[in-house]
Each structure stands twice: as structure tokens, then as C-alpha cells.
């Protein structure tokens, strides 16, 4: 009997995992051939810094998508958390406390999404579409539609500083990546996320508290959105009321490009990091090549489509 098992079925994950990496490699190769600046140390750190915010949002999004959900509200949570932190700083609060308060606010907002999905049984798309609008509205109310600026070098350092040669946001991204990787791989919570996304009923019947897991994944997504909001606020020296608009789309794109299934249950955060890099490298490369920003959007969309189509044809 053993011989009847088709070898291609043995490790179906592996091919899928290599695909995004190969794609990234090809894009990097092509761009380094076309542009000499591309592979300079300065530019590499530049790219990493540019992708850090999207990567952080996408890490949180990975949890949500692995459970079969989606979180459209991350851009708005980013803006509101950033604004709250900036507001508290402007009011004279200790910068570290302001950071913690911002992170806590984002986590609570995310948990709110989770409660709507888990307890209210609202479809994730609808729940987070609604809260996306609500949180954006609250941001506009809180900021009165104007940027909030503050005066704190400690806080600004979180977005603009360097640790040796490495930009601080890149450190945030790499540390977060390692933590997320370990959580998904080595904790019961990680397993519960995959099980819930793969088959909710089977997970429930195996003793997984599915409601709790759902609330947690949206809370994690909110936490990462808040962290991104703080970094963005720090980098710009002010909180913008429209910050993060449409960022959720790039975050979703990074997750999908990384090979994580929108149906849930399958995927990995390393893919998400690669996906975020693909988007970032593409943006950067097209800039270096002086491609107009209008065309850049067309190219980016086409690359996403191409990646997903390749993925489909491989699975057939």
C-alpha cells in the first residue's frame, strides 16, 4: 500500500513555500541588473525601512487570514492609535507611557473586531469594514482633521533612529518576525490558529476555545496596527488623520503573495515577510527606474495577479 502514496503528495507545503522566495529572487536579480544603485547598502536599508510598516501590519494580518478571516480596519487602527499617542505626548505624557497607551488602544480596538466576529457572528469582512469606517471617523473627530504634532526626541527616535547602521523600524520588524514565527510554530495558540482556519468545527470538537482564539487573532492584528501607527507617527514627527488609508490592501497583498491561503489553515509568516519584500522591492525598483507612480500601481497589481495565477496553476 505504501508504494501507492504519490510522492508529490508527501510534502505539498514545500513547493508552495519556495515559490515566493524564487519570485523575490528573480525581481531582485532583474532590478540589480537594470539599476546599479539597487544593491547598495544604503538602498537595501532604505527598502527595509520602507517595508517595515507594511510588514508589521501583514504579520498581524497573517494571524487573521490563517483563521480564515480578514481585517480591513488595520489602516484606521494605525491612524487612531498613532493619533492617541501623539495627543498624549502633546499633553506632556511620558513618551514610553504614550507608546504603551497607543499599543493598548490598538489591541482593544482589535479585540473589539474579534468580539464582533466571534460572539456577534458577523462576517469578518463586514465587521472590519464597519470598524474601519468607525475608527477612521473617530480619528478625524479626535484630531479635528488636523495633524497632531508633538515634541519628544525619544518618541521620534522610534521611527527615525538607528541602532548602529540599522534603522529602528527595521529592528521592530525583524524582532516581531521572530516572535510571530515562534508563536505560530511553537505554541498551542499557533496550532489553534491553524486548526481553526483549517476546520473550525473539528477544532472546537478537539477542545479548542475557538471564540477566544478569534478574539485573540484580531487583538494581535490591532496590536501590530498600533505599533505601525506609532512608528509612522514617530517618523513623521506628527500624527496624520489620514495616515494608513488603504494600508490594509498592501498588508493583505503581502500575506497572499507569501502563499497563505485566504481560506485559512495554510500558510506561514516567512512567506508574509517575503511578500512584503516583493511589494517593497518592486516599489523601490520602479522608483529608481523613474517609472511614473501611476504606472507603478498597474505593475504592482499585475504582479499580485501573476503570483496568484501561478499559484493556482501549480495546484492543479
- The nearest distance, CB 179 to other proteins, in angstroms, is 13
Cβ-contact 79, 229 below 8 angstroms: yes
Q: Which residue matches cell numbers 473589539?
A: 112
Phi, psi of 162 (to 5 degrees): -130, 145
- The nearest distance, CB 7 to other proteins, in angstroms, is 8
Of 261, 59, 35, 97, residue with least CA distance to 174: 59
Q: Would you list the DSSP string of 145-194?
A: TS-EE---HHHHHHHH-EETTEEHHHHHHHHHHHHHHHHHHHSHHHHHHH
Q: Which is nearer to other proteins, 206 or 297 (CB)?
A: 206
- The nearest distance, CB 171 to other proteins, in angstroms, is 24
Query: What are the residues facing 148 on neighbouring strands?
Result: 239
Tell me how far apart the alpha carbons of residues 17 and 315 are, in angstroms, rounded to a whole number.
13
- The nearest distance, CB 190 to other proteins, in angstroms, is 8
Taking CB under 8 A as the rule, which mask of x and - marks residues 184-203 in contact with other proteins? Answer: -xxxx-xxx-xx--xx-xxx
- The nearest distance, CB 220 to other proteins, in angstroms, is 15
The kind and range of the H/E element at 238 are strand 238-239
- Taking CB under 8 A as the binding criterion, the range among 77-85, 136-144, 150-158, 183-191 that sits at the site for other proteins is 183-191
Residues in the chain: 316
- Taking CB under 8 A as the binding criterion, the range among 34-42, 74-82, 92-100, 204-212 that sits at the site for other proteins is 204-212
Q: Which is nearer to other proteins, 28 or 195 (CB)?
A: 195
Tell me how far apart the alpha carbons of residues 86 and 278 are, in angstroms, rounded to a whole number.
31
Taking CB under 8 A as the rule, which mask of x and - marks residues 218-257 in contact with other proteins? Answer: ----------------------------------------
Grid cell for residue 298 = 498597474
Of 265, 268, 247, residue with least CA distance to 257: 268
Could you say whether residue 3 binds other proteins (CB under 8 A)?
yes
Could you say whether residue 137 binds other proteins (CB under 8 A)?
no
- Taking CB under 8 A as the binding criterion, the range among 1-9, 136-144, 243-251, 304-312 that sits at the site for other proteins is 1-9
Of 217, 249, 278, 219, residue with least CA distance to 65: 217
Contacts of 189 (CB under 8 A, 6+ apart): 183, 213, 216
Q: Which residue in the set 207, 246, 294, 313 belongs to the binding site for other proteins (CB under 8 A)?
A: 207
Q: Which is nearer to other proteins, 5 or 41 (CB)?
A: 5
Taking CB under 8 A as the rule, which mask of x and - marks residues 263-302 in contact with other proteins? Answer: --xx------------------------------------
Please report, for residues 214, 222, 287, 295, the alpha-carbon distance to residue 78 in angstroms, rounded to integers and kept in the order given: 20, 8, 25, 27
Cβ-contact 98, 222 below 8 angstroms: no
Could you say whether residue 161 binds other proteins (CB under 8 A)?
no
Q: Which is nearer to other proteins, 97 or 182 (CB)?
A: 182
3-class DSSP state for residue 239?
A: strand
Taking CB under 8 A as the rule, which mask of x and - marks residues 4-23 in contact with other proteins? Answer: xxxxxxxxx-----------
Number of residues that bind other proteins (CB under 8 A): 35
- The nearest distance, CB 63 to other proteins, in angstroms, is 16
Residues binding other proteins (CB under 8 A): 1-12, 185-188, 190-192, 194-195, 198-199, 201-209, 261, 265-266
Amino acid at each position: 500500500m505504501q508504494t501507492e502514496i504519490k510522492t508529490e503528495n508527501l510534502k505539498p507545503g514545500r513547493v508552495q513555500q519556495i515559490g515566493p522566495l524564487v519570485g523575490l529572487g528573480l525581481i531582485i536579480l532583474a532590478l540589480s541588473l537594470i539599476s546599479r544603485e539597487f544593491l547598495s547598502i544604503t538602498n537595501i536599508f532604505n527598502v527595509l525601512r520602507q517595508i517595515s510598516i507594511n510588514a508589521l501590519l501583514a504579520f498581524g494580518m497573517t494571524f487573521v487570514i490563517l483563521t480564515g478571516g480578514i481585517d480591513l480596519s488595520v489602516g484606521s487602527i494605525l491612524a487612531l492609535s498613532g493619533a492617541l499617542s501623539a495627543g498624549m505626548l502633546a499633553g506632556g505624557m511620558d513618551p514610553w507611557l504614550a507608546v504603551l497607551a497607543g499599543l493598548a488602544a490598538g489591541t482593544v480596538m482589535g479585540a473589539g473586531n474579534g468580539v464582533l466576529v466571534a460572539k456577534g457572528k458577523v462576517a469578518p469582512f463586514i465587521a472590519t469594514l464597519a470598524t474601519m469606517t468607525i475608527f477612521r471617523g473617530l480619528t478625524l473627530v479626535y484630531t479635528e482633521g488636523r495633524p497632531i504634532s508633538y515634541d519628544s526626541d525619544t518618541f521620534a527616535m522610534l521611527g527615525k533612529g538607528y541602532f548602529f547602521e540599522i534603522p529602528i523600524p527595521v529592528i521592530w520588524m525583524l524582532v516581531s518576525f521572530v516572535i510571530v514565527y515562534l508563536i505560530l510554530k511553537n505554541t498551542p495558540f499557533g496550532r489553534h490558529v491553524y486548526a481553526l482556519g483549517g476546520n473550525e468545527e473539528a477544532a472546537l470538537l478537539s477542545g479548542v476555545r475557538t471564540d477566544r482564539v478569534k478574539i485573540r487573532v484580531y487583538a494581535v492584528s490591532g496590536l501590530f496596527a498600533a505599533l505601525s501607527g506609532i512608528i509612522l507617527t514617530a517618523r513623521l514627527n506628527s500624527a496624520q488623520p489620514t495616515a494608513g488609508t488603504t494600508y490594509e490592501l498592501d498588508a493583505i497583498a503581502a500575506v497572499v503573495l507569501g502563499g497563505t491561503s485566504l481560506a485559512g489553515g495554510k500558510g506561514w509568516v516567512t512567506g508574509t515577510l517575503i511578500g512584503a519584500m516583493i511589494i517593497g522591492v518592486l516599489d523601490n525598483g520602479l522608483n529608481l527606474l523613474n517609472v511614473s507612480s501611476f504606472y507603478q500601481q498597474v505593475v504592482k497589481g499585475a504582479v499580485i495577479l501573476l503570483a496568484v495565477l501561478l499559484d493556482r496553476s501549480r495546484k492543479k
